């Protein structure tokens, strides 16, 4: 399955997340350590999203991160205090296109999904049918992850707080498609919401930053594993971990 990360803190070059650490996101694209049976490498595209005063900007491709010749210089020169990035291992049967690579997004939001909706597409068809038709017509890609984003976005725009929107979608999808792997990641550049449901996630927090990633980027002992079935909410002030189901 995919690997993803989110960073909130003082502005840093994207390369500090994507390339420089020993187990950077790029390293995780070809040598992930904890895929839990969900694929072997993450070579089916990638995306990086970062927040600017004008809102989030995304750079996505349908090729392996390690093969992109533009990204290293871009990542070294772009500095941001809020970042969401992902590398993709496409689930069998799902297309390998730029638009299927996270981050998905709209307005101030960036979103990523690491996992798989079991029984796709039939299992989730009823939930999809409850969305406005316009949303389905402009779905970024015919994939489970893009539909999960549409479901989360539907809640956000009706004013549901981010953590509840993510928890609600996870609960309703788990009901119709049990055993689905639903590690979700959402940020508006000031808060990060993440879930663990079937895949690995770790968090590293210091006085001035928080970094959440499928796998630790380095050997720093400050990394802490997030238990399975947890809702994580982080901002510049605090980090909370709540067991899913108690949300």
Tell me which stretch binds ligand GLN (CB under 6 A): 61-69, 86-94, 124-132, 206-214: 86-94
Tell me which stretch binds ligand GLN (CB under 6 A): 6-14, 25-33, 82-90, 228-236: 82-90
List beta partners, residue 232.
194, 241
Prior bond of 121 cis (ω within 30°): yes
CA-atom Rg of the chain in angstroms: 16
- Give me 232's structure tokens: 């994580």
Can you tell me which of 24, 29, 91, 230 binds ligand GLN, judged by CB under 6 A?
A: 91
d(CA 58, CA 40): 25
List beta partners, residue 104.
111
Please report, for residues 193, 201, 239, the alpha-carbon distance to residue 230 in angstroms, rounded to integers and kept in the order given. Answer: 11, 10, 12
Question: In terms of CB distance, is 144 or 188 closer to ligand GLN?
Answer: 144
CB of 153 to ligand GLN, least distance (A): 17
Question: In terms of CB distance, is 105 or 115 closer to ligand GLN?
Answer: 115
Q: How many residues bind ligand GLN (CB under 6 A)?
A: 16
Residue 26 a catalytic site member: no
Can you tell me which of 113, 150, 169, 226 binds ligand GLN, judged by CB under 6 A?
A: 113
36: alpha, beta or left, given left = phi > 0 and alpha = psi -120 to 50?
A: left
Can you tell me which of 140, 144, 188, 215 binds ligand GLN, judged by CB under 6 A?
A: 144
Positions marked active-site:
2
């Amino acid at each position: 399955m995919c690997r993803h990360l989110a960073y909130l803190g003082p502005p840093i070059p994207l390369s500090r997340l994507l390339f420089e650490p020993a187990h950077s996101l790029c390293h995780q694209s070809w040598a992930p350590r904890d895929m839990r049976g969900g694929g072997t490498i993450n070579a089916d595209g990638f995306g990086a999203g970062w927040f600017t005063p004008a809102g989030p900007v995304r750079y996505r491709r349908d090729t392996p991160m390690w093969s992109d010749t533009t990204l290293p210089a871009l990542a070294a020169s772009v500095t941001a205090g809020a970042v969401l990035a992902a590398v993709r291992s496409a689930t069998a049967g799902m297309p390998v296109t730029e638009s299927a690579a996270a981050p998905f997004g709209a307005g101030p939001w960036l979103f990523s999904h690491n996992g798989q909706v079991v029984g796709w597409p039939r299992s989730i068809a009823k939930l999809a049918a409850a969305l406005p038709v316009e949303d389905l017509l402009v779905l970024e890609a015919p994939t489970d992850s893009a539909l999960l984003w549409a479901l989360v976005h539907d809640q956000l725009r009706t004013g549901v707080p981010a953590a509840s929107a993510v928890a609600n979608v996870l609960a309703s999808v788990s009901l119709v498609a049990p055993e689905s792997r639903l590690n979700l990641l959402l940020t508006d550049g000031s808060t990060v919401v993440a879930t663990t449901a079937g895949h690995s996630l770790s968090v590293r927090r210091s006085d001035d930053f928080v970094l959440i990633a499928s796998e630790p980027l380095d050997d720093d002992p400050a990394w802490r594993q997030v238990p399975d079935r947890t809702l994580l909410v982080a901002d510049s002030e605090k980090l909370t971990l709540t067991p899913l189901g108690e949300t």
